[in-house]
Structure 1
Amino acid sequence: MRHTRVKDLLNGTNILHEVNAKGWVRTFRNNQFIALNDGSTINNIQCVVNFENTPEETLKRITTGAAISVTGNLVESKGAGQKYEIQVTKLKILGDSDAEKFPMQPKKHSLEFLRENAHLRVRTNAFGAIMRIRSVLSFAVHNYFQQKGFVYVNTPIITGADAEGAGEMFQVTSLPLENLPKNEEGNIDYKKDFFGKHTNLTVSGQLEGETFAMALGQIYTFGPTFRAENSNTSRHLAEFWMIEPEVAFNNLDDNMDLAEDFIQFVIKYTMEKCPDDLKFLEGRLLEEEKSKPQAERSEMTLLEKLNFVLENNFKRVSYTEAIDILRDSTPNKKKKFQYIINEWGADLQSEHERYLVEKHFKSPVILFDYPANIKAFYMRLNEDGKTVRAMDILFPGIGEIVGGSQREERFDVLVEKMRVLGISEEELWWYLDTRRFGSAVHSGFGLGFERLVLFVTGMTNIRDVIPFPRTPQNADF
Structure 2
Amino acid sequence: MASSEPAPVDTPVTLSKYTNRVTLKTVFERNDGGMGFAGRRIVIGGWVKSSREIRKDPAPAPAPEAVETKDVSCVEVLQSRIPLIRSIMKVFGGGGEYRIREKLDSAVQKLPQPSVSFLQLSDGSCVQSLQVVVDSELARPCQVMPTGTCILAEGILQQVSLKGKHVIELKADKVLHLGTVDQNKYPLSRKRLPLELLRDCCHFRTRTTTVASVMRIRNALTQATHSFFQDNEFLFVQVPVITSTVFEECSKRFLVTTVVPKDGSADGISLEAIKASIKEKSKQIEELRRTESNKEAVVAAVQDLKKTTELVSKLEAKGKPKSGTSLEEDRIDLCQDFFSSQMYLTASGRLHLESQACALGNVYTYGPRFRAEKSESKKSLIEMWMFETEIAFSALEDAMECAEDLLKFVCKYVLEKSAEDVNFLSKRVDKTIVENLQFMTSGSLEKISYTEAVEILKQVTEKKFESNIEWGVPLSDEHTSYLVDEIYKRPVIIYNHPKEVKPFYVRLNDDAKTVAAFDLLLPKVGTLVRGSQSEERLNILSSRIEELGLSKQEYEWYLDLRRHGAVKNSGFSLMLDSLVLFATGLSDIRDVVPFPISPGKASA
TM-score by length of 1: 0.90
For 2:303, the equivalent position in structure 1 comes to: none
Give me the whole-angstrom Cα distance separating, in 1, the residues matched to 2:399 and 2:544: 22
Give me the whole-angstrom Cα distance separating, in 2, the residues matched to 1:6 and 1:235: 34
For 1:408, the equivalent position in structure 2 comes to: 535
Deviates more, 1:57-66 or 1:20-29: 57-66
Does the 8 Å contact 2:249/2:501 carry over to 1? no
Partner letter of residue 155 of structure 2? Answer: G
- The CA deviation at 1:362 is 3.3
- The CA deviation at 1:226 is 1.2
- The CA deviation at 1:188 is 7.1
Does the 8 Å contact 2:250/2:347 carry over to 1? no
Q: Secondary structure at the match of 1:368?
A: strand
Pair 1:65 & 2:154 matched: no
For 1:384, the equivalent position in structure 2 comes to: 511
Q: In structure 2, which of residues 571, 574, 598 is the aligned counterpart of residue 444 of structure 1?
A: 571
For 1:21, the equivalent position in structure 2 comes to: 44
Does the 8 Å contact 2:408/2:442 carry over to 1? no
Partner letter of residue 337 of structure 1? Answer: F
Q: In structure 2, which of residues 467, 475, 488 is the aligned counterpart of residue 339 of structure 1?
A: 467
TM-score by length of 2: 0.72
Does the 8 Å contact 1:163/1:207 carry over to 2? no
For 1:104, the equivalent position in structure 2 comes to: 188
For 1:10, the equivalent position in structure 2 comes to: 28
Alignment of 1:161-240 (within 5 A): 161-178=245-262, 190-240=334-384
For 1:153, the equivalent position in structure 2 comes to: 237
Partner letter of residue 217 of structure 2? Answer: I
- The CA deviation at 1:187 is 9.7
- The CA deviation at 1:190 is 4.4
Give me the whole-angstrom Cα distance separating, in 2, the residues matched to 1:137 and 1:335: 35
For 1:296, the equivalent position in structure 2 comes to: none
Give me the whole-angstrom Cα distance separating, in 1, the residues matched to 2:563 and 2:334: 29
For 2:168, the equivalent position in structure 1 comes to: 84
Residues 265, 164 of structure 1: CA spacing in aligned structure 2 closer, same or farther, 3 A cutoff? Answer: farther
Give me the whole-angstrom Cα distance separating, in 2, the residues matched to 1:115 and 1:361: 34
Does the 8 Å contact 2:144/2:151 carry over to 1? no
For 2:403, the equivalent position in structure 1 comes to: 259
Give me the whole-angstrom Cα distance separating, in 2, the residues matched to 1:138 and 1:319: 30
- The CA deviation at 1:152 is 1.0
Residues 139, 386 of structure 1: CA spacing in aligned structure 2 closer, same or farther, 3 A cutoff? Answer: same
Does the 8 Å contact 2:379/2:525 carry over to 1? no
Q: Secondary structure at the match of 2:554?
A: coil
Does the 8 Å contact 2:390/2:569 carry over to 1? yes
Pair 1:268 & 2:412 matched: yes
For 2:89, the equivalent position in structure 1 comes to: none
Does the 8 Å contact 1:365/1:394 carry over to 2? yes
For 1:126, the equivalent position in structure 2 comes to: 210
Does the 8 Å contact 1:350/1:398 carry over to 2? no
Q: Secondary structure at the match of 2:493?
A: strand
For 1:43, the equivalent position in structure 2 comes to: 128
Larger Rg: 2
For 1:373, the equivalent position in structure 2 comes to: 500
- The CA deviation at 1:91 is 3.6
Give me the whole-angstrom Cα distance separating, in 2, the residues matched to 1:323 and 1:230: 27
Does the 8 Å contact 1:153/1:221 carry over to 2? yes
Give me the whole-angstrom Cα distance separating, in 2, the residues matched to 1:194 and 1:59: 54
- Structure 2 stretches lacking a partner, 5+ long: 1-18, 55-116, 268-329
Does the 8 Å contact 1:46/1:86 carry over to 2? yes
For 2:432, the equivalent position in structure 1 comes to: 301
Give me the whole-angstrom Cα distance separating, in 2, the residues matched to 1:88 and 1:2: 16
Give me the whole-angstrom Cα distance separating, in 2, the residues matched to 1:338 and 1:247: 38
Deviations 1:11-55 (A, max 9, x none): 34222112221111000123432100011111101123345x435
- The CA deviation at 1:106 is 5.9
Q: Secondary structure at the match of 1:25?
A: strand
Give me the whole-angstrom Cα distance separating, in 2, the residues matched to 1:92 and 1:25: 15
Give me the whole-angstrom Cα distance separating, in 2, the residues matched to 1:431 and 1:380: 14
- The CA deviation at 1:429 is 0.6
Residues 167, 398 of structure 1: CA spacing in aligned structure 2 closer, same or farther, 3 A cutoff? Answer: same
Question: RMSD in angstroms over aligned alpha carbons?
Answer: 2.3
Does the 8 Å contact 2:259/2:332 carry over to 1? no
- The CA deviation at 1:202 is 0.8
For 2:489, the equivalent position in structure 1 comes to: 362
Deviates more, 1:434-443 or 1:104-113: 104-113
Does the 8 Å contact 1:351/1:399 carry over to 2? no
For 2:427, the equivalent position in structure 1 comes to: 283
- The CA deviation at 1:312 is 1.0
Residues 106, 93 of structure 1: CA spacing in aligned structure 2 closer, same or farther, 3 A cutoff? Answer: farther
For 1:433, the equivalent position in structure 2 comes to: 560
Give me the whole-angstrom Cα distance separating, in 1, the residues matched to 2:356 and 2:590: 32
Give me the whole-angstrom Cα distance separating, in 1, the residues matched to 2:167 and 2:467: 53
Q: Secondary structure at the match of 2:45?
A: strand
Give me the whole-angstrom Cα distance separating, in 2, the residues matched to 1:391 and 1:163: 17
What is the total number of aligned residue pairs between the two structures?
Answer: 455
Does the 8 Å contact 1:163/1:206 carry over to 2? no
Give me the whole-angstrom Cα distance separating, in 2, the residues matched to 1:30 and 1:58: 7
Q: Secondary structure at the match of 2:602?
A: coil
For 2:549, the equivalent position in structure 1 comes to: 422
For 1:292, the equivalent position in structure 2 comes to: none
Partner letter of residue 147 of structure 2? Answer: T
Give me the whole-angstrom Cα distance separating, in 1, the residues matched to 2:352 and 2:489: 37
Deviations 1:72-111 (A, max 9, x none): 2212336242232112333455223212221113632122
Partner letter of residue 462 of structure 2? Answer: K
Q: Secondary structure at the match of 1:49?
A: strand
- The CA deviation at 1:168 is 1.2
Residues 43, 164 of structure 1: CA spacing in aligned structure 2 closer, same or farther, 3 A cutoff? Answer: farther
Partner letter of residue 475 of structure 2? Answer: L
Give me the whole-angstrom Cα distance separating, in 1, the residues matched to 2:173 and 2:542: 76
Q: Secondary structure at the match of 1:144?
A: helix
Give me the whole-angstrom Cα distance separating, in 1, the residues matched to 2:143 and 2:429: 35
Give me the whole-angstrom Cα distance separating, in 2, the residues matched to 1:354 and 1:433: 40
Give me the whole-angstrom Cα distance separating, in 2, the residues matched to 1:322 and 1:383: 20
Give me the whole-angstrom Cα distance separating, in 2, the residues matched to 1:334 and 1:59: 61
